[in-house]
Amino acid sequence: MALHSNFVNAMVVNEVNFVEKFDIAIIGAGPGGYIAAIHAAKSGKKVALVERDKVGGACYNVGCIPSKILLEHSKLIQEIKRGYDWGIETSVVNVNFPRLMKRKDAIIDELLTNIEGYILSNQITFYRGEAAVSNDLTVTVGNEIFTATDIILATGSKPFVPPFKGIETSSYYTTDTFFDMTELPKQLTIIGGGVIAVEMAFSLAPLGTKVTVLNHSEDILQTEEPDARPLIREKMKKLNIKLVTDFHFEHFNGNEIHTSKGIYTYENLLFATGRRPNTKIAQQLGLAFEGRLIAVNEHLETSQPHIYAIGDLVGGFQLAHSASAEGIYVVDHILGNKPARIDQALIPRCVYTHPEIATFGLLEEQVNEPYKVTKMPLHTNSKALMEGNTVGFIKLIATEKEGRILGACVVADGATEMLNAILATKNAGGTAHTLANMIFPHPTVSEHIGDAAKAIFDKAIHQ
């Protein structure tokens, strides 16, 4: 991407004979870092932003953006096949995978160009290179040295590959390398059963790849809504994704994976087994840790005053929008704005399978007060029937008396957009009564939200 190289060369600060002073320095230009930098700059602060690789971090370059682009490609293939079932007959559909990947690259290139433009237009001083931070809040990047009143660490995470016996004899991808491929793999074995593993299975199988998912746990997506898991497993079966669960890995030998359930061979292997925080700077500074994570207080400040950490460095949800919210929060705290603490229950969690899963708040087993729960299936919804997307439901958990919304889950095509109506109501102080009294347009899938809310009070129409 020559454009980005030119941008970096233009933005990198020339060597000077004085140490420049910034109000806020941010290490890492991913979704947490670059958004914090822009927010600080728009708030009148003098800001330095350091990035050793590409702006956008893992999310834009090797994570959520490229994976969601592939999922859109796969979703289109499924829609074409559904059209054939309806009577819209087409010739054989051929997948030109190199062209799909070029489209992926073009979209990412445009997004990164936009981010670079935001950095430039907000007069943020951008440093390219590996940052070293001293306890006196001095930052060194190559030959450049500057200081800051406050520093935000936003260095993200890297893929984790478990130290299985014999793993050194095997060749494999991680999500950092997988999206570089230009040929559609005929076969792919994915190790893992979380969101990334399942999304990658959904992104490749509809394109024609024979996919096997090996997950040693008893079930997939164990951090997500339990009622959604059987629907996703059933869809995986329809997509001819082979799912193997509840076993022990024994050892690896070349392209053989030896398990307690037998030997599995592969042509291509992808590890989707989680991520680990990039804590090199924190270790050099001698910051306190809680396990693998940097220890922070309620304001995300580390054990050293004026040094903060956000995103994958501090736990919570490993989500881009969570890191962005934390970055904005820290800047507002530094500004003395006394921002409201981030409520983890209001952070939406998304799985971009087909159907999608979108959730916020508590799951049923986490509720510790009297509550009512409703689950409105999509097969009674007019728009879902028209679209042929009847697999899924809208689930709402609310307190019995006040109707306070404790949690919600939407499993549907477009669920990650639909959830926002419930979340916005919750954020605005609304209740299940509010949703029940809303007038939704008809026919829409989202009108089932209102009916699910009515069901809390035993007044649902379509139940």
Which spans in 12-63 are helix H?
Answer: 33-42, 57-62
C-alpha 70/C-alpha 85 separation (Å) is 23
Nearest to 173 by CA among 156, 158, 161: 161
Question: What sign has the CA pseudo-torsion 380, 384, 200, 315?
Answer: negative
- For residue 283, give the DSSP letter: H
Nearest to 224 by CA among 373, 362, 49: 362
Catalytic residue, candidates 4, 73, 442, 462:
442
- For residue 93, give the DSSP letter: P
C-alpha 164/C-alpha 258 separation (Å) is 11
Nearest to 102 by CA among 154, 131, 66, 74: 66
- For residue 446, give the DSSP letter: T
- 318, two tokens: 């490993």
State in Å, rounded, how far the first CA of the chain is from the last one: 54
Do residues 309 and 151 touch, judged by C-beta distance below 8 A?
A: no
153 bridge partner residues: 27, 309
C-alpha 389/C-alpha 49 separation (Å) is 44
- The helix/strand/coil state of 180 is coil
Q: Would residue 258 show up in a list of annotated catalytic residues for this protein?
A: no
- For residue 340, give the DSSP letter: P
- 21, two tokens: 């002073």
C-alpha 148/C-alpha 125 separation (Å) is 12
- Catalytic residues, which ones? 442
